[in-house]
Structure 1
Amino acid sequence: MNKYNGIVSDLEYVQFHPTSLYLPNEARFLLTEALRGEGAILRDASGRAFARDYHPNGELAPRDIVARAVFMESQKGADDDVHNAYLDISHRDSEWLKDRFPSIHAHLKSRTNPMDFTQEKIPVIPAAHYTCGGVTTDLNGCVIASNGEWYGNLYAAGEAARTGLHGGNRLASTSLLEGLVYGASVGEMVAGVVSDGTDDKALENRERVMETMHQARYAIEQRLALEQSTSAGSTVSSTSAVDEGMRKEATAILTNLKSIMWDNVGVVRTPSKLALAVSELSAMRDEADQLWNNSSSSGGCGGAGWEVVALRDAAHAGLAVAESALANRVSGGAHYVVLEEIESENNNGNGGGSKSDSDDEEPLHAVI
């Protein structure tokens, strides 16, 4: 999907890591897929291995399939207090595991209620991990619009960029490689090393880019100076209560936003849930913008703290992902859509046989 002035595309392809540590009210901690590579087994609450219900390769199936398997099984708990998806590698040698996965061992042991992954199965849930889409660029990292035009002096590299390299389902370890390759390409482009013209053309490009960089740096310095002077001129007594209120409101809205994204724009999506998300997130974006405007008028972006900034960014990004997902009814890779009528026909407690609404169609991707 191309919108937002044609700069971004494929935002619906959000890859989920299949196995993050699931502990209610705690931040997610990724349990590396190398665990499954070393023989870890996905089990439900009763101890039954379930991965092969979804794919012949079981735990070693493609990442998106494993993520859906874990998600579907997690929904089958007897009640809200019973989790139903676990990762179990307790059959391997304990000392070998601690030496092979020292970071995981240290993290689990450092908790108030320590866990031992060498002796017990660990509760897991998928977690949003990587955005395959983003700001559309060419092979030099230049940002391009849907009409093919280059946005002058605007570049992107890394996860922020949509180069087309990852398609709709990134392979493991390619994110760092992409950042290195395209980061170097952007650097060369900005430095004027890459040029379609003569040496004179390269020099002209270099001078033009340097001038733009100086202008941007000056604008940033002016903005920071203005905010610092505004903050210095306001008294703590007159703004502290307002700032604290903004922080609490922003935190509450952000918590709700995360729930809406997980429930409606998560691992398995339906058109009706996506439409609901777009509606709810549109309202949240307006609230976030209003909070941001209020914080700016009361002392700049530092006036209300990082909570307001985080909410504003999350609201705009979440809405963009939801709108892109709603516009694309073709399942592919990290974007999986199920029609409600098909879902209800197959709602027999298995979930492994659910058909996407586009089994016979090719996944949609913006083509550079």
Structure 2
Amino acid sequence: MFMRPTRYLIQFDPRRIHFEQTDFLVIGSGIAGLFTALKAQNYGQVTCLTKKGITDTNTERAQGGIAVAIDESDSPILHLEDTLKAGAGLCDQAAVEVLVTEGPARVHDLIRLGAQFDHHGDTIVLTREAAHSRPRVVHARDFTGDEIQRTLVRNCREAADIVIKENHFVLDLLTNRAGRCLGALAYDTEKRELVAYIGPITVVATGGLGQLYRNTTNPAIATGDGLAAGYRAGAELMDMEFMQFHPTALAVPHAPRFLISEAVRGEGGILRNSQGKRFMPDYHPAAELAPRDVVARAIWRELADTGQECVFMDVTHLEREWLKKRFPTIFNTCAFYGLDMGTDLIPVAPAAHYMMGGIRTNLDGATNLPGLYACGEAACNGVHGANRLASNSLLDGLVFGHRIVEAVKNEIGKTVPWSREDLIDAAESGYPVRNEPSFDPKELTNQIKDLAWEYAGLIRSAQGLAIARQKLAALASEITGLVLEPDCLEAVNLLLSARLMVEAAARRTESRGAHFRHDYPERDDVNWLKHIILHNCLCSAC
């Protein structure tokens, strides 16, 4: 049986910490968090907490763009069909309908805020990416996320009713005895003090979990803190077995796994193995434009067959100056590592990229805990199913962040009855804070990454997951105390998230989307057209 974690990450005395009131609390500063904050500031004072700088996000790294049906040849119905197909039977169709029908308005919101996307004259340029039937991806060359992040940051900093608290590591969500979310407990890493933020609405928009794996396209901040905090508070987590591995991350020895965007294949990039053979037509009729899970596993099989560390992206048939203009970030990064996109084959391999699972929500972002909402990669509303369609993630953050505010706008600013006594009993349920931790954070983190990559990565099995489960439990049993340092706190959150993922992956005895079991290699619609829900020490399927 999966062990129940401590209610709080650390022990604390509610009578000795500073409390601040806010009308609307947002945790996270990526597209989901900042867009939600901008929408909410029309109804009250917004506080936005982020554990590092405001631009330290997954959003800032996004290259491809935002998928939205705005072309005359396209329609929300076609976008819906593509999303459902990629999701391998587990998408919530109502959620997808919301995404594709409300998406165009939210993209125009971004444009009104000042986001500059690629245009040809007065027409927005659209590109096609894998598993899309039409060109529908709005982009700013290959730095779309950076353009969006800068736009949202500028608007938030100019807003009188949005307070940004950088370097505030959210340790936990605060709840009263009835289970209502009251806000969050944060650690100010600059002032080195605990601060509790109390308000009627709390939104978790903390992003994903890519740092669970040895190889990832995600930045260092993606350690699943919001997922772990939500689970400890009693929020339901759903689809935790579904981690998407991007097929094409730059595979240069001793270098970070820099993303080689889906758009490169969308513009004609070809994948070749170490013998120079184009292999994707052997695996899927759409070849390089197959869904990400298909391409990632095809690459894995090619590597397993050849014993090589990478395959190669070939764009040498495309004009060099055009490549430099269309993909400046990728072009310059490749050049930094001695590779010329115009003449060289680019070594690529799969890397952890996006978490389909997360805190379970309805179509308005509400969780099972009153007062708690979630959106973006930290949330799971069923819109991505078992495998996210390329460039739907940024749209997800926009659409469902907006819906949260529309659903709660009449509650923003209301007084929430609470007292410090609500927190006293549970506050003793946490790890004691010490001068020295009971473990080496870097060593623990590396052990977790290696276990996840080996046993809960692209290819899984009952035997491997059992090994991971046992070893992760042993690591957890060795933790007896923490220090208030981000690397230590992140390691413990990562460990809990790893155990949740392994638990869900072990339960799903089939292969579907991003979850592949070589001991259950077939999709099983008879028994597994359902979701795995994790709630404290309980596991269920619905």
State the TM-score, normalizing by the size of structure 1.
0.72
Cα displacement string for residues 47-88 of structure 1 (whole angstroms, at most 9, x for unaligned residues): 11111221122111111100101122122344xxx4341111
Cα displacement string for residues 286-345 of structure 1 (whole angstroms, at most 9, x for unaligned residues): 34x43xx242xxxxx1xxx322122111111111011100011122111111218xxxxx
Deviation for aligned residue 1:29: 0.6
Percent of aligned pairs with the same amino acid: 36
The amino acid that maps onto 2:404 is: V
The residue number in structure 1 matching 2:297 is 68
The residue number in structure 2 matching 1:147 is none
Assess, with a 3 A threshold, how the Cα gap between structure 1 residues 264 and 153 changes in structure 2: closer, same or farther. same
Confirm or deny that 1:286 pairs with 2:483.
no
Assess, with a 3 A threshold, how the Cα gap between structure 1 residues 93 and 318 changes in structure 2: closer, same or farther. same
Question: Any unmatched runs of 5+ in structure 1?
Answer: 145-150, 193-204, 224-230, 296-300, 341-354
Confirm or deny that 1:309 pairs with 2:475.
no
The residue number in structure 1 matching 2:508 is 328
Q: 1:102 aligns with which of 322, 328, 338?
A: 328
The amino acid that maps onto 2:497 is: A
Listed as ranges, the matches of 1:22-171 within 5 Å are 22-78=251-307, 82-111=308-337, 114-144=338-368, 151-171=369-389
Q: 1:331, 1:363 within 8 Å by CA — same for their partners in 2?
A: no
Cα displacement string for residues 71-107 of structure 1 (whole angstroms, at most 9, x for unaligned residues): 22122344xxx43411111121111111111010111
Assess, with a 3 A threshold, how the Cα gap between structure 1 residues 363 and 270 changes in structure 2: closer, same or farther. farther
**Partners of 1:330 and 1:41 in 2: CA distance:** 30
**Partners of 2:492 and 2:236 in 1: CA distance:** 19
Deviation for aligned residue 1:215: 6.9
Q: 1:254, 1:311 within 8 Å by CA — same for their partners in 2?
A: yes
**Partners of 2:448 and 2:493 in 1: CA distance:** 12
The amino acid that maps onto 2:452 is: M
**Structure 2 SS opposite 1:48:** coil
Instruction: Name segments (4+ residues, structure 1) moved above 6 Å.
Output: none
Q: 1:274 aligns with which of 446, 465, 468?
A: 465
Q: 2:482, 2:489 within 8 Å by CA — same for their partners in 1?
A: no
**Structure 1 SS opposite 2:367:** strand
Q: Which has the larger radius of gyration?
A: 1
The amino acid that maps onto 1:116 is: D
Larger RCO (CA under 8 A, 6+ residues apart): 2
The amino acid that maps onto 1:17 is: H
Q: 1:268, 1:336 within 8 Å by CA — same for their partners in 2?
A: yes
**Partners of 1:20 and 1:115 in 2: CA distance:** 14
Cα displacement string for residues 227-264 of structure 1 (whole angstroms, at most 9, x for unaligned residues): xxxx9xx9xxxx6xx57x96xx2112211211111111
Residues paired across the two proteins, number:
295
Confirm or deny that 1:18 pairs with 2:247.
yes
Question: Any unmatched runs of 5+ in structure 2?
Answer: 5-230, 428-432, 533-540
Query: Considering only aligned residues, what root-mean-square deviation do their CA atoms show, in Å?
Result: 3.0
Q: 2:452 aligns with which of 261, 276, 281?
A: 261
The residue number in structure 2 matching 1:228 is none
Q: 2:531 aligns with which of 359, 365, 368?
A: 365
Confirm or deny that 1:172 pairs with 2:390.
yes
Q: 1:75, 1:84 within 8 Å by CA — same for their partners in 2?
A: no
Query: Which structure is higher in strand share?
Result: 2
Assess, with a 3 A threshold, how the Cα gap between structure 1 residues 157 and 45 changes in structure 2: closer, same or farther. same
Q: 2:365, 2:400 within 8 Å by CA — same for their partners in 1?
A: yes
Q: 2:262, 2:390 within 8 Å by CA — same for their partners in 1?
A: no
**Partners of 2:511 and 2:529 in 1: CA distance:** 6
Deviation for aligned residue 1:357: 6.9
Cα displacement string for residues 123-149 of structure 1 (whole angstroms, at most 9, x for unaligned residues): 1111111111111111221112xxxxx
**Partners of 1:92 and 1:185 in 2: CA distance:** 42
**Partners of 2:344 and 2:474 in 1: CA distance:** 44
Q: 2:243, 2:514 within 8 Å by CA — same for their partners in 1?
A: yes
**Structure 2 SS opposite 1:86:** strand
Assess, with a 3 A threshold, how the Cα gap between structure 1 residues 215 and 106 changes in structure 2: closer, same or farther. farther
**Partners of 2:248 and 2:526 in 1: CA distance:** 30
The amino acid that maps onto 2:394 is: L
